[in-house]
């Protein structure tokens, strides 16, 4: 152990946070721990049918404390004494209103049970109207302030969520000094920040979700923002003027946090970023490859060398210098639901067990919950694929890209009395893969070459059916990263750079990367039938979008 150094990657997902302890020399993953958010697990502060998804900051604090202390116990004192840095990734856009001290309002007694004072999770779509208005305002503007985010603003993003909260909750509006992304607040918390002005904003979050760009010297001017919400005349946009990439440091652990976590006050905390961007780094992204983080939703990331004139890509979630790898252009796209589509189908099938018989629930619910998706996948894999199969749309949580529209809904078509559960499940898997192909096609149509796909995340590791279908639909090889925790690994890599172990993140990627465990090759004999089904998917989508938007 002598001379070995380690970093911790903290990955805050939709349902849980995980800590990963990594040897900065070898990339060995020496310890890990996961903790679900307790209030979130109980469904507190969420109203799914209204698209309201809020998370209490105490969930983050308690779960983070748990995973770091447990991972340190697993690793042992020889490791904990030699941790040099912590990197943080989170979901996004997941902002929270804070006071002048940078404290989330929900941590104050008067707002402790107010969902509007909590973190607005990425998939909270309560701001649909506000996003629609932003897009209409931009269409009439002399300056296109959405050109660097694909031309369409989403209800998942920063300004729409703030504007909506200001409309529905004037008390929170009045109490909020500013709004802060989750990935920016955690490093601020760990380093003892006590002034909102001192908070370091991630270029990843600000660029992709808050319209930050160097051309604007920050975010768009107040003359533009006040058209969205007149109260933005008082918004402290100067707090968003300067941004930072994740190879930079926020500071060091406070004595209080060091004691609580069993670490040293010498531990450096890096600037945070979004999970998919750090996951791409953990998955050893390189130009020409689409990095696809596959979980409840997906986030698709590409990097490209900087050019003298930035090449704009229509309909994606933004392109930001340094949001993935410093001094490279980071491009983001994604699907609002992927694994969530399968989870919805499982809940649908389990409804009788959960609601009709206490005896059945006690006897079978846990077993069925664990086994139903693997059983469906096994049965679906045996089915022949034909041009007459059912076709579904994967828009169960709206469409993120290409061309964001969170008002859209999912669809099942082409079913009859002979359609059984495995066939429906197969059509849902194909729908999520068709959605992925729409993204890769958009990149290709806009002149961005894709050589192959790097798949990361739980579904990539666990589901042969999904990965093989994805390869067959896209007719591209799919490389699956070896690490179980690529987002946390990417965060650990950035921590190593911020702590001074490496000068560049590319060096950390080379030293700490885990490589790839498998490559799925496309079946050429399925290309034609999937091409036919993909045309039906696109035609169905066009029809449903016209009906929905009438």
pLDDT tens for residues 238-262?
999 999 999 999 999 999 999 999 9
Query: 526 near 472, Cβ under 8 Å?
Result: yes
Same domain, 469 and 497: no
| CATH number, domain with residue 118 | 3.30.420.40
Same domain, 425 and 532: yes
Same domain, 496 and 438: no
Domain membership flag for residue 368? yes
Res 308: pLDDT: 58
Which helix (H) or strand (E) segment holds residue 299: the answer is strand 298-305
Same domain, 499 and 408: no
Helix (H, G, I), strand (E, B), or coil: what is residue 494? helix
Domain membership flag for residue 414? yes
Domain membership flag for residue 313? no
Residue 528: burial class (beta carbons within 10 Å; 0-12, 13-18, 19+): exposed
Q: How far apart are the first and last CA of the chain?
A: 65
Segments forming the whole domain that contains residue 440: 339-481+520-548
Same domain, 129 and 236: yes
Same domain, 57 and 139: yes
CA-CA-CA-CA torsion sign (225, 226, 229, 233)? positive
H helical segments located in 191-274? 203-209, 222-228, 255-261
Query: 34 near 18, Cβ under 8 Å?
Result: yes
Domain membership flag for residue 248? yes
Same domain, 61 and 198: yes
Give pLDDT < 70 ranges for the chain.
Answer: 1-2, 308-309
Backbone angles phi, psi at 292, to 5 degrees: -115, 105
**Long-range interactions of 443-449: CB distance < 8 A, separation 24+:** 443/290, 443/302, 443/313, 443/316, 443/331, 443/333, 446/311, 446/312, 446/313, 446/314, 447/311, 448/302, 448/304, 448/311, 448/313, 448/331, 449/288
Tokens of 81: 């004494």
Query: 27 near 490, Cβ under 8 Å?
Result: no
User: HSE (CB half, 13 Å, CA atoms) of 261?
Assistant: 29
Query: 85 near 495, Cβ under 8 Å?
Result: yes
Query: 203 near 213, Cβ under 8 Å?
Result: no
Same domain, 140 and 114: yes
Q: Residue 232 and residue 530: Cα distance in Å, rounded?
A: 48
Tokens of 342: 């399968």
Domain membership flag for residue 300? no
Give the relative orientation of helices 339-355 and 421-445 as an angle to the nearest 10 degrees.
160
Domain membership flag for residue 191? yes
Looking at the DSSP bridge assignments, the partners of residue 181 are 95
Contacts of 499 (CB under 8 A, 6+ apart): 7, 84, 85, 249, 268, 270
Res 1: pLDDT: 42
Same domain, 377 and 233: no
For the whole model, what pTM was predicted? Answer: 0.90
Give 3-state DSSP helix, strand, coil % of the chain, rounded to 5: 45, 20, 35
Same domain, 116 and 105: yes
Contacts of 389 (CB under 8 A, 6+ apart): 414, 423, 426, 427, 430, 533
Same domain, 52 and 73: yes
Query: 324 near 301, Cβ under 8 Å?
Result: yes
Tokens of 436: 């992925």
Domain membership flag for residue 316? no
How many C-beta neighbours within 10 Å does residue 344 have?
15
Domain membership flag for residue 305? no
pLDDT tens for each residue of 271-304? 999 999 999 999 999 999 999 999 888 999 999 9
Which DSSP string do the residues of 439-490 spell out, in sequence order?
Answer: HHHHHHHTT----EEEEESHHHHH-HHHHHHHHHHHTS-EEEES-S-HHHHH
Cα distances (Å, whole numbers) of residue 163 to 96, 159, 351: 13, 6, 37
Contacts of 313 (CB under 8 A, 6+ apart): 150, 319, 331, 442, 443, 446, 448
Q: Residue 508 and residue 511: Cα distance in Å, rounded?
A: 5
Same domain, 401 and 492: no
CA-CA-CA-CA torsion sign (376, 381, 386, 391)? positive
Domain count, the chain: 2
Tokens of 239: 């707090």
H helical segments located in 356-403? 358-381
């Amino acid at each position: 152990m002598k001379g070995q150094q380690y970093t911790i990657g903290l990955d805050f997902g939709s349902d849980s946070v995980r800590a990963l302890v990594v040897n900065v020399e070898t990339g060995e993953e020496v310890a890990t721990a996961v903790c679900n958010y307790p209030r979130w697990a109980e469904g507190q502060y969420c109203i799914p049918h209204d698209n309201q998804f809020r998370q209490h900051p105490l969930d983050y604090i308690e779960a983070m404390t748990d995973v770091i202390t447990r991972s340190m116990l697993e690793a042992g004192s020889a490791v904990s004494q030699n941790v040099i840095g912590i990197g943080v990734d989170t979901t996004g856009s997941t902002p929270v209103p804070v006071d002048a001290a940078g404290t989330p309002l929900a941590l104050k007694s008067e707002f402790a049970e107010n969902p509007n004072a909590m973190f607005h999770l990425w998939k909270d779509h309560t701001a649909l109207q506000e996003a629609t208005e932003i897009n209409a305002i931009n269409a009439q503007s002399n300056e296109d302030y959405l050109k660097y985010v694909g031309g369409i603003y989403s209800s998942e993003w920063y300004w729409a969520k703030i504007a909506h909260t200001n409309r529905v909750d004037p008390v929170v509006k009045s109490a909020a000094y500013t709004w802060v992304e989750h990935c920016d607040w955690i490093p601020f918390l760990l380093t003892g920040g006590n002034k909102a002005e001192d908070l370091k904003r991630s270029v990843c979050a600000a660029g992709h979700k808050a319209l930050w760009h160097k051309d604007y010297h920050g975010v768009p001017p107040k003359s533009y923002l006040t058209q969205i919400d007149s109260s933005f005349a008082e918004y402290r946009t100067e707090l968003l003027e300067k941004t930072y990439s994740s190879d930079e440091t926020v500071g060091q652990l406070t004595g209080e946090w060091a004691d609580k976590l069993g670490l040293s006050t010498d531990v450096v905390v890096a600037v945070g970023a979004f999970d998919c961007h750090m996951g791409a780094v953990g998955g050893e992204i390189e130009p020409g490859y689409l990095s696809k983080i596959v979980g409840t939703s997906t986030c698709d990331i590409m990097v490209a060398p900087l050019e003298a004139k930035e090449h704009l890509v229509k309909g994606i979630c933004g392109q930001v210098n340094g949001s993935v790898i410093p001094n490279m252009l980071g491009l983001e796209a994604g699907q609002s639901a992927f694994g969530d589509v399968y989870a919805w189908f499982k809940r649908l099938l389990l409804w009788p067990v959960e609601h009709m018989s206490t005896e059945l629930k006690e006897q079978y619910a846990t077993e069925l919950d664990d086994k139903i998706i693997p059983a469906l996948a096994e049965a679906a894999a045996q089915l022949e694929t034909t041009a007459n199969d059912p076709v579904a749309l994967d828009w169960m949580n709206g469409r993120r890209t290409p061309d964001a529209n969170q008002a859209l809904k999912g669809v099942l078509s082409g079913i009859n009395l002979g359609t059984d559960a495995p066939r429906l499940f197969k059509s849902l898997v194909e729908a999520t893969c068709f959605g992925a192909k729409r993204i890769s096609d958009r990149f290709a149509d806009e002149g961005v070459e894709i050589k192959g796909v790097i798949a990361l995340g739980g579904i990539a590791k666990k589901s042969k059916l999904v990965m093989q279908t994805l390869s067959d639909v896209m007719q591209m090889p799919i490389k699956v990263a070896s690490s179980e925790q690529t987002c946390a690994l990417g965060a650990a890599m950035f921590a190593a750079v911020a702590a001074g172990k490496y000068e560049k993140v590319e060096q950390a990627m080379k030293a700490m990367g885990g490589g790839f465990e498998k490559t799925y090759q496309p079946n050429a004999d399925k290309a034609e039938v999937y091409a036919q089904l993909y045309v039906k998917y696109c035609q169905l989508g066009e029809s449903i979008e016209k009906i929905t938007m009438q």
